[in-house]
Amino acid sequence: MTKTTGREQPHGPRSPRPGSVKQGSRKPWPLAVAALILLVLAVPGALLVAPGFLGPDAPGPTPAPPAWQQAPATLPAPQVLAPLQPSAQVPAQPAVTAQVDPVLKTDGGGTFTGMVQDALTGQVLFDRGGAEGRVPASNLKLLTAVAALRTLGPDHRFTTKVVQGPAAGQVVLVGGGDVLLAAGESQPEQVMGHAGLATLAALTVEALQAAGTTGDVKVLVDDSLFTGPALNPAWQSGDVEAGEIAPLYPLALNSARFDPAVTTGPRPQDAAMAAAEEFAGRLRAAGAGVGLTVAAGVERSPGAAQANTAVLAGVESATVAEQVNLMLQVSDNYLAETLGRMAGAATGRPGSNDGATAVVKAELAAAGIPSDAVTLVDVCGLAMGNQVSARQFAEVVRAITTGADTRLRAALDGFPVGGLSGTLGTRYGDATTSGGAGLVRAKTGTLNTVLALSGYVVDADGRLLVFSFIGNGLAPGAAGNKEALDRAAAALAGCGCR
């Protein structure tokens, strides 16, 4: 007997069990129902899965941005002040005095003098002791600017050069008046650092190679262009120690600062030697790959370089106009004293403090500004012995803005702008002075008991006015004194004084 299992047997047809239905006779409706159910379920699933195969829908059209975000069809006209019109009405003197006099008050002692003039005619519109000699502080730099532009010219540049030394294997770094040298490469787009010692060193190596020079090279420095005391005895020792000024030399890095970004604190006491040592290091690096070595240590040249000495290389400073503007913007004492000495040397005077004060006073007179009563003991304004009147400063600003000598126009960019630039960048921010923000352009002056502000402004009627306000004997640190100066200048800006 064959044993069977639970599996179907392939041999022979099986008889239907009682009650069963033959396959060929089943009813089709259960299959149709199942198919319909599957179809109903499949359609939503397909809709969910399809994007994975077909990708996202094509984006619809992007709506146009609002009008204020769209590029303009035409460029608007520049928003600038209208050209000055000589026909604009000159303010009335009583009305100007009524605006300025009440706000020009000292805070805690001392006195203010002042002068306001119409720039085109010179008509006096306000006068409070305007002819009185005063300690002007850094307003004195306006006089130095006039002397530098008249004697040197706005486009003049100072050259720092390297020449053959007095003995074989020596090169001499010769200072030519550029105290804004950079340690690295020249930066033609900058005023500070326009000429760089790394560039000068590379050019020197090229010249030495061309001459067949090899072996050891000794660097000397020639700073003989400036004479007399390097430090003015009229400067207070506290100002020197605080870094307001340093000994003067005809070449320096960063206006005799260790770091161009740090404009306070100690300074090199021998800027020429500091620059020469930096140059020697750059020359050593540039010559290392071509067989040149540089001896340790730098010495001063035993004498001035002769005019016919072979020049190996040179780099040029920013223009005098650019340096004047930097001097006025940031009130750089070292740069002012240098420009004064260079102006003196350009007119055959010694490159000393005496030469600088003499040329500034002489050029003031040559510009048509009476200078008999002017007393100068320096040309940066740091000394307390200087004496200049508010009227003389107003006349200097007139000469710069509207005078016959157009070389002086180069100084206009140097005037700090109220609330925007330079030493006026943080002023004109309160309710009593904000009317002068962006309109007042003036040189500041600050010493312990001295404040000054001299510049120009276009009044509400379009008339150009020049002014000078000087405070002496002021309470040190009294905040109201600067505010008084700023309020007076702002009053002129808003003046439709008839």
Grouping H, G, I as helix, E, B as strand and the rest as coil, residue 268 is coil
Token code pair at residue 219: 């660097």
Grouping H, G, I as helix, E, B as strand and the rest as coil, residue 116 is strand
| Burial (CB count within 10 angstroms: exposed 0-12, middle 13-18, buried 19+), residue 83 | exposed
Grouping H, G, I as helix, E, B as strand and the rest as coil, residue 470 is strand
CA pseudo-torsion sign 470, 459, 147, 365: negative
Q: Is 138 a catalytic residue?
A: yes
Q: Is 331 a catalytic residue?
A: yes
51-to-56, 61, 62, 274, 387 alpha-carbon distances in Å: 6, 20, 22, 73, 87
Token code pair at residue 276: 């020469």
Q: 239 — phi, psi (to 5°)?
A: -70, -35
Rounded CA separation 37/297 (Å): 99
Q: Is 255 a catalytic residue?
A: no
Grouping H, G, I as helix, E, B as strand and the rest as coil, residue 127 is strand
Q: 478 — phi, psi (to 5°)?
A: -70, 115
CA–chain centroid gap for 480, Å, is 28
Token code pair at residue 127: 């006068």
Annotated catalytic residue within 255, 331, 371, 454: 331
DSSP for 363-395 reads: HHHHTT---TT-B-S-SSS-STT-BEEHHHHHH
DSSP 11: S
* Integer-rounded Cα radius of gyration of the chain: 40
User: What is the Cβ-side half-sphere exposure of residue 113, based on CA atoms within 13 angstroms?
Assistant: 20
Token code pair at residue 478: 């009294």
Rounded CA separation 53/416 (Å): 67
Could you list the beta-strand ranges (E) of 165-212.
Answer: 170-174, 178-181
DSSP 243: T
CA pseudo-torsion sign 209, 211, 215, 218: negative
Query: Residue 120's CB: how many other CB atoms inside 10 A?
Result: 17
Helix orientation angle between 390-402 and 141-151, rounded to the nearest 10 degrees: 40
Torsion of the alpha carbons at 92, 95, 100 and 105, rounded to the nearest 10:
130
Helix orientation angle between 320-330 and 141-151, rounded to the nearest 10 degrees: 180
CA–chain centroid gap for 179, Å, is 16
Annotated catalytic residue within 138, 301, 371, 468: 138
Annotated catalytic residue within 141, 161, 218, 443: 141
The residues assigned a catalytic role are 138, 141, 331
